[in-house]
Chains A and B, each alone.
Chain A
Amino acid sequence: MKYLSEFRSPEIVAALLKEIRETVKGQWQIMEVCGGQTHSLVKNGILNMLPSNIQMVHGPGCPVCVTPVNLIDKAVHLAVEHKVILCSYGDMIRVPGSGMSLLEAKSKGADVRILYSPLEALKIANENPDREVVFFAVGFETTAPANALSVIQAKQSGIKNYSILTSHVLVPPAIAAIMADPECKVDAFLGAGHVCAIMGMSEYYPIVEKYKIPIVITGFEPVDLLEGILMAVKQLEKGKYLLENQYSRIVEAAGNTSALKAIDEIFEVTDREWRGIGEISSSGYGVKDAYSAFDAMKKFKFDMIESHEDASCRSGDIMKGKIKPDQCPNFGIKCTPVQPLGAPMVSSEGACAAYYYFNRLLVEETLL
């Protein structure tokens, strides 16, 4: 598989690991922001290959994990009470709400469909003119262009029975919120490559300057991640703080202008609540007033009881890098993928699920 296999090469990985070992002198905590990166680190066994003085801590970049429980309750409410066709990305449907998950709603007869793209939801709306179709538009900046495009196309095609339930969150405010926490111990960040492929790099310069912290925009394959870690370690050892781009084969400084145009047409920056973390100002997207006919929040009435979640879940501390999943007292005991307390144990990009599936034994005993 050209363009993938070279980024999974055992020889290049070994060479990078050697260079990391030779470079690192201090004790460093590096946070990978994106859940896809966490997943790749754990799934490829990279966490156990790094020298022990480099600790990877896992950031809030799992869109499923940070979607507030109130929005999941709203999605369930739309599917159960308003009887809409509720379309969602796959790993959203098992996340627990206050009452039930979308999967449970589906088993009770709600019309919940798993899709890969909001454009498929638009097609369903077109084919079912007598039903309301809602797409649960979850994600970081990465999924925003496709969600925006679905609204633009719905308007152009005169499709009136389509809307999106938006839960878009943004990476730079989340990094700033983590850094602003006085207990933060993060020394450097690996930025989320796919997010920067859309947004470009400019948003990160002020963060680097303000918090004097290295940020390396990094991809998702083993070679990408190790290169990103090496670049961060080199900066840390020299006492530098720069914005660097490891993922230059995908990320351009200006981002993707046509994607940005679609986002700008539909969305505006708003305050957002992050599950486990709380409200962060100017940290998400909401649908602009001009498109409120396609905004499920405005289109439907949400007559429902107040949302609540299990107070013993430590997912907020995990996503801020304060503890690792296996340091949570509930991990694997009160909280498992079958009976999760919080979203990071359910989503395939969640740090808790990654540890549970791929790293549990390595937590108990060292194999290498």
Chain B
Amino acid sequence: MLMMLACPLPKLDFDTINLGHGSGGTLTSQLLDAGVFKILENDLLNKKHDGAIFNINGKVAMSTDTYVVSPIFFEGGNIGDLAVNGTVNDLAMCGAAAKYLTLSFVLEEGLKMTEFWEVLNSIRAACDAAGVQIITGDTKVVEKGKGDKIFINTTGIGLVHPEAAIDTDHIKPGDKIILSGPLARHGITIMSHRQGLGFESTISSDTRALNKVVLSLLDEFGKNIHFLRDPTRGGLATVLNEIAIGARAGIDISQKNICIEEDVSGACEMLGLDPLYVANEGLFVAVVDASVAEAFLYRLQDWEHGEMAAIIGEITNDHPRQVVMRSLIGGRRVVNMLPGEQLPRIC
């Protein structure tokens, strides 16, 4: 909302998006000049060319992702900051500091300009917070009913940290697995917003950029960080299974060390969902050498969102390619991947 004040919606001839805004004609120019370029401006974008031309020296990482979240506004964020943070975080998980992003919109005819404006302002704020720039992009409009208000693709490029060696091949038995914070906030926020759930809460999404904290951890722990991954879709369980398969190793985790806030846990109980499979947007899992695990955790807990970080488990030679969890009551069970989206249970 603060950014809204900084860049208010100008007086325009239109208050909703129509097909003309994606035509490449005058309406497109109006939309871009009055909005996109103005809000997102920087030297490279200001050239308004078909692409951006720049120098970048060193080892580079690149990542792309498309954002289709519904609803587009939710507690703690919206599709705009999600689209910036998501790609910035994917690069961070490669050990790279995001530098430039591309930004493509697919807008649905009838989208309110006020909504589009709020998304644009959030994109700018997220870029500033993460220290990245939007340098080229695209806007298309589809007929009403053929989209869902707004879809966003971002593609990012970033410089890989000189000490980064993030690779499943570097994971070895004895490595510790560290989770950076409490689970399942983003997914539960979205679920509680969806129409027809009859369920309201004050839980907010954890969407945030992770590049600064990850890069500073790489400064200090370098090659002792063997792997990084953010548990977005599919949640922690899916990421741990991917790590176990990729590293051809087993994983042991302890349920009592996995932090879930009480309100989130209560919502999961009510909705019949397992928080291990619920999406997160501001969390990461690090697999680190056992020799640095305590120091890594200590540093992470210093970070403003790292208070609840914990060592949740370790890599083992036993049960290769499988994740086994010690339950709160001391039993052991396998944590498997799901074939699709988690579905609520009947009773």
Seen from chain A, the residues whose Cβ lies within 8 Å of a Cβ on chain B are 1, 4, 8-10, 13-14, 36, 42-49, 63-64, 89-94, 113-117, 119-120, 123-124, 138-140, 142-143, 194, 222, 336-338, 348-349, 356-362, 365, 367-368
Contacts and interface: CB of A to CB of B under 8 A. Distances in A.
Given A10-B330, A36-B347, A1 B265 contact: yes
Interface string B294-323: 000000000000000000000000010010
Counting from the closest, the 6 A-B pairs by CB-CB distance are A45-B331, A90-B343, A90-B344, A13-B329, A357-B336, A358-B333
Contacts of B266: 1
Interface of B: 196-199, 262, 265-266, 269, 271-272, 319, 322, 324, 326-336, 338-340, 343-347
Contacts of B344: 89-91, 114, 116
A362 B333 contact: yes
Nearest to B199: A116
9 contacts: A1-B262, A10-B329, A36-B347, A45-B330, A90-B272, A93-B343, A116-B199, A359-B333, A361-B319
Contacts of B326: 45
Contacts of A123: 196
Given A9-B329, A47-B331, A116-B196, 9 more contacts: A4-B269, A8-B328, A46-B329, A49-B330, A115-B196, A348-B345, A360-B336, A362-B333, A368-B332
Given A36-B347, A338-B339, A44 B196 contact: no
Interface of chain B, main secondary structure? loop
A337 B339 contact: yes
A359 B333 CA distance: 6
Contact of A360 (B196, B272, B328, B334): B334
Contact of A113 (B196, B328, B338): B196
A91 B329 contact: no
A361 B324 contact: yes
B200 to A, nearest CB: 13
Given A43-B327, A46-B331, A48-B331, A356 B336 contact: yes
B343 A120 contact: no
Contact of A114 (B336, B338, B343): B343
Residue among A10, A113, A357 with the highest chain B CB neighbour number at 10 A: A357
B333 A44 contact: yes
Given A1-B265, A43-B327, A91 B332 contact: no
A138 B346 contact: yes
Contact of B345 (A8, A90, A140, A337): A90
Contacts of A362: 332-334
Nearest to B196: A120
B329 A48 contact: no
Nearest to B256: A10
Nearest to B331: A45
Q: Give the interface centre of B324, B334, B347 by most chain A CB atoms within 10 Å.
A: B347
Nearest to B326: A45
Nearest to A41: B331
B195 to A, nearest CB: 9
Instruction: Among B272, B339, B346, find the residue whose CB has the most chain A CB atoms closer than 10 A.
Output: B346
A124 B319 CA distance: 48
A142 B330 CA distance: 30
Nearest to B347: A142
Contacts of A194: 347
A91 B328 contact: no
Contacts of B340: 94
Contacts of A94: 340, 343
A10 B329 CA distance: 4
A92 B199 CA distance: 21
Contact of A45 (B199, B269, B271, B327): B327
